[in-house]
Structure 1
Amino acid sequence: MVLRILEVLYTSYWPKDYTVHIIIGLLAAYVLRTVAQGRKTNRERDLHARVVLMTGAFTPLGLTILQSLAQQGAHIIALCQEPVDSTHITLLIDILRTTTSNEQIYAEECDLKSPTSIRAFCTKFLTGKEQRLDAIIFGHEHRHIGSPWPFSNATIDRDQKERDSGSLASFLITTLLLPALLVAPVERDIRIINVVNPFYAAAGGLPFSPSFSYEIPAAQANSLFLREGQRSLRTIVLTRHIQRVLDALPTSSQIPKTEEGSSAVPIVSSKHQKSNITSVSVSPGIGRVDTISSFLSADWKSPKGFSYFGILLYIMLQPLFLMLLKSPYAAMQTVLHALYLPTPFKILAQTTVVSQNKEAQKSEGPIDVSELDMPEEVLLPGSLYAECASVKIDVKIPQEVLDKDQEDKDKRAEIKTRDKGKAKEKTPLQEEVLEIEDDGEYGGEVGGRLVWESYEQALKIWEKETPPTERDIEREQLDKEKKHSNPESPPPPVDIDQAYN
């Protein structure tokens, strides 16, 4: 019956003279959609017993990543703004556990717009029995912020505050949890992944300014893409500088242990990797849900409200969006690529060291990992990844900034030379600092340091201007009641600022 109906439709309505044209058109549409979805990662990694902390986990992209990590057996801690016992969160967690057969999926309440809530979560984590972390994925900064006038009446200042608070939340969590990462066994492969929006190129052609209250030329004052690009570029530069700091720490000289009874001592070449903690940024590309839906204010579940005109336009253009823009599944591929790619430390731990030098085989001593057959691709610490590949970007630091920084360096060198050998109280310019190598990439050491200082200053202002919410006060009261009712004394709290400094 069905075949008969198809035959009638073909003989009666199919334009036989245009069969070739239709086939070529469909083939072209298929190729265009395949190219638009981008590359897929060709890597896999067993994540059983690996602990992954993730923000932005309950966005469309975040839920897709959660499902993939859960299928790989990861132990997941998903941060959410809502109470963990809310119906929405409970239902999503139950569905993920059931569909992936992984019970190690948990949600923890942490409002990323409240520094009080962030500090409370980090203190709870650092004082708990289990402090293991194998990866931190900051997924909340990927979602687009801001819509043009026809779709939203939100002010530029309000959107900018939301951008700044999201960036500062990532910085605060990183610095608070860094002590736990630094004391982890050196053979542990730890990764910090910042997921950024795809508009970093919009700010790449202008002189880079790390300030959160940066100035924009009058002609571009209302450029939404420029503001989003500045936010993304600032996170990329910070991520690179975090890697420089990690590489400069004394612990970065540690190496994975060899097998018992081995006479060879493996050494990871500094040109490959210096620290077992790897920090990278990832741009998943333009997605139709996390990017375009937010741009058009077409998300009717958004707490900021929605636009009927934006929803109508989003539905009408859906065929075009499906063709040209990425789905959450396609967007997550680069994130998984950065998480799955091997590192030199990981290769060293899994490879039997066989030196190509026969004389080196006979003598006991260090063996450089560069003698090993490295795979075609390893994770590049501090890099930006897009379309499952490392991307180089040119960050232009204004010349006046470079000149002022050089003057400060000359003053330090002059004071150090003049007071060499004298035992006296050190001035601020004489204080010992980490010797951070300037690789010249992503703004170099100068750009990274300026961004770090900008984050520190903005963080102080943010904490001062953001009082605890009612939910923060309620949670603090509940924690006090639990401690009072628990006869066993909890472990002493950690002075996080002192531990980091």
Structure 2
Amino acid sequence: MLLQLVGFLGTIATARYAIHAGVIGITLLTLHLWVNGRENTRDRDMHGRVVVLTGAFTAVGLRVLTELADRGAQVIALTSSLSSPLVQELIPVLRQTSKNELIYAEECDLDSPASIRNFCQQLIQPRPSLDGNSPAESQRVDALVMTHEYPHVDSAPIATASSSISDVDADEHRLRPTLASFLLTTLILPSLLRAPSDRDIRIVNVVNPAYAAAIPSFSPTSLAPAKKCSTFTKEGYRSLRAIIVGRHLQRIFDALLSSPDKQAPVAPDPDADEFIRPSLLYKGSNIISVVVSPGFTMGETVTPLLASVGHTRYGFLNLLHYYIIIFPFLVIITKSTRAATQSILYALFLPHPRKVNPALSETGDSAKHQNVDGRVIEGGMLYRDCAVVALPGRSEREILEREDVGRAVWEYLEEGVKRWEEDEAQRLAEVVKDGGPTTRKKTRLSFAKDGKH
């Protein structure tokens, strides 16, 4: 009886409101497609290239990992624990589905500066060549893609049920992902600078899209957010600092290139698939640093943000009721994971401005791979929806283009890393004093074990 009643009501609704329902459906679909943004039309043969990927087992990171694996890249996916069931199950599946055995999970806890240093030390440590005749070289790295900064960071995980945390501790916790990116980049940097100058190297930092919320209150003299500002603004500060560091890092790369030591001729890399030569039009470095903002996604930005804001203000049950009501609307106005990764892939696949023939693709075998518009990757820029975007208003000129602002944020993060390392050393000392474990498990580098360079 119930099914017959539902069918009868559906027939009436279909006959009476078919046009209205069709218009609404088309409108919502158009809105969702518009929110998802541009599709990445670029492609690139990643065979022979090594990509270090953080946040590889988040939704966006896993999608990037899959896309790179399908294109033949050797991917070193960082994880806090190699014994995680998720890691142990996903890696064999990815190798099988992509038909790419060069997918590795390596232990690097981004919540621990000691673990980051341990991983980087082993990564850049020179290893003897396979033939025994060539000089020892460190692990080749063609791209460093950091997606761990993209998800919303909540201060709740560090609070206990019986106590609350201070605003200072909460801000320090929110700063940790940026400090991890900064420490990881600076430790790998010497190895990247020693690489042949004709090698195309990318550093891609993925940030949340809340940076615009921090611009009105941002000041180079006060790089930390105000204590009473909203969670969204604090997330904006975290994103904006990463954007500033990305621009400053490119400024450093280009300055090093103009030094006398870097102007000496360097023999071309015989293993490189693409050859880069000095150009009269482009005097920048072969190392490109960019920042990508994928936009808002349901699982990694919107839902955690609503939970952190609403849990204390409305209570869990009331928040759950509101969330159920607005969930369909959120699905429409947020990006899918696939759409969010398009800009990341775009930043990785765009040709380098110093390529021999930027008007043609690396393969040139189909229109999909042709660089007909002549676009190239622009170092230090912010990418969103597969295009370079500027900060709102005059902030592009007053914040990003000022070298003193970049230097101030750089020094701010250096001080943050020092505090972070001191805090970890203090906690380890307390563990030792209490008779706990004193050593950390060393990172096991699978690619070194397998002899793949």
User: Normalized against structure 1, the TM-score is what?
Assistant: 0.70
**Which residue pairs with 2:332 in the alignment?**
323
**Unmatched 5+ stretches in structure 2:** 128-137, 271-275, 309-314, 362-370, 429-435
Give deviations 1:450-500, integer Å, cap 9, x for gaps.
111212222222211222757881315x99xxxxxx9xxxxxxxxxxxxxx
Distance 2:437 2:84 in 1: 14
**Which residue pairs with 1:454 in the alignment?**
412
- 74 and 307 in structure 1: CA distance in 2 versus 1, 3 angstrom threshold: farther
**Which residue pairs with 1:111 in the alignment?**
109
Question: For residue 13 of structure 1, what is the amino acid of its counterpart?
Answer: I
Deviation at 1:393, TM superposition (A): 1.6
Question: For residue 94 of structure 2, what is the amino acid of its counterpart?
Answer: L
- 285 and 102 in structure 1: CA distance in 2 versus 1, 3 angstrom threshold: same
**Which residue pairs with 1:445 in the alignment?**
403
**Which residue pairs with 1:474 in the alignment?**
440
Give deviations 1:189-220, integer Å, cap 9, x for gaps.
000011111000001123423655x252x7xx
Distance 1:308 1:172 in 2: 40
**Greater displacement, 250-259 / 137-146:** 250-259
**Which residue pairs with 2:124 in the alignment?**
126
Counterpart selection for 2:179 from 168, 171, 189: 168
Give deviations 1:327-364, integer Å, cap 9, x for gaps.
11111111111111111123448969xxxxxxxxxxxx
**Which residue pairs with 2:21 in the alignment?**
22
**Which residue pairs with 1:199 in the alignment?**
210
- 170 and 211 in structure 1: CA distance in 2 versus 1, 3 angstrom threshold: farther
**Which residue pairs with 1:90 in the alignment?**
88
CA RMSD in angstroms comes to 3.5
Question: For residue 277 of structure 1, what is the amino acid of its counterpart?
Answer: I
Distance 1:291 1:17 in 2: 39
Give deviations 1:101-158, integer Å, cap 9, x for gaps.
211111111111111111111111111535100000111111112379xxx9765444
Question: For residue 165 of structure 1, what is the amino acid of its counterpart?
Answer: R
- 440 and 203 in structure 1: CA distance in 2 versus 1, 3 angstrom threshold: closer
**Which residue pairs with 1:79 in the alignment?**
78
**1:198–1:284 CA contact under 8 A, matched in 2:** yes
- 393 and 255 in structure 1: CA distance in 2 versus 1, 3 angstrom threshold: farther
Question: For residue 473 of structure 1, what is the amino acid of its counterpart?
Answer: T
**Unmatched 5+ stretches in structure 1:** 299-305, 353-372, 398-438, 480-485, 487-501
**2:109–2:116 CA contact under 8 A, matched in 1:** yes
**Which residue pairs with 2:68 in the alignment?**
69
Matches within 5 A, 1:41-440: 41-82=40-81, 84-127=82-125, 129=127, 130-146=138-154, 156-209=167-220, 214=224, 216=226, 221-249=228-256, 250=259, 253=263, 267-269=278-280, 272-297=282-307, 313-348=322-357, 375-393=373-391
**1:51–1:75 CA contact under 8 A, matched in 2:** yes
- 108 and 23 in structure 1: CA distance in 2 versus 1, 3 angstrom threshold: same
- 164 and 89 in structure 1: CA distance in 2 versus 1, 3 angstrom threshold: same
Distance 1:281 1:451 in 2: 15
- 258 and 456 in structure 1: CA distance in 2 versus 1, 3 angstrom threshold: closer
Give deviations 1:244-295, integer Å, cap 9, x for gaps.
00001136546887899xxxx95323x5351000000010101101002212
- 255 and 227 in structure 1: CA distance in 2 versus 1, 3 angstrom threshold: farther
**1:189–1:345 CA contact under 8 A, matched in 2:** no
| Identity across matched positions, percent | 38
Deviation at 1:231, TM superposition (A): 1.0
Distance 1:336 1:252 in 2: 30
Distance 1:11 1:197 in 2: 42
**1:338–1:379 CA contact under 8 A, matched in 2:** yes
**1:343–1:379 CA contact under 8 A, matched in 2:** yes
**Greater displacement, 200-209 / 24-33:** 200-209
Distance 2:269 2:116 in 1: 40
Distance 1:450 1:97 in 2: 43
The count of aligned residue pairs is 393
Distance 2:279 2:50 in 1: 25
Distance 1:134 1:101 in 2: 21
**Which residue pairs with 2:34 in the alignment?**
35
SS at match of 2:377: coil
**2:399–2:405 CA contact under 8 A, matched in 1:** no
Of the two, which has the highest radius of gyration?
1
Give deviations 1:395-449, integer Å, cap 9, x for gaps.
979xxxxxxxxxxxxxxxxxxxxxxxxxxxxxxxxxxxxxxxxx97614111111
Distance 1:471 1:280 in 2: 40
SS at match of 2:383: strand
**2:148–2:177 CA contact under 8 A, matched in 1:** yes
- 257 and 117 in structure 1: CA distance in 2 versus 1, 3 angstrom threshold: closer
User: Normalized against structure 2, the TM-score is what?
Assistant: 0.77
**Greater displacement, 383-392 / 439-448:** 439-448
**Greater displacement, 162-171 / 43-52:** 162-171
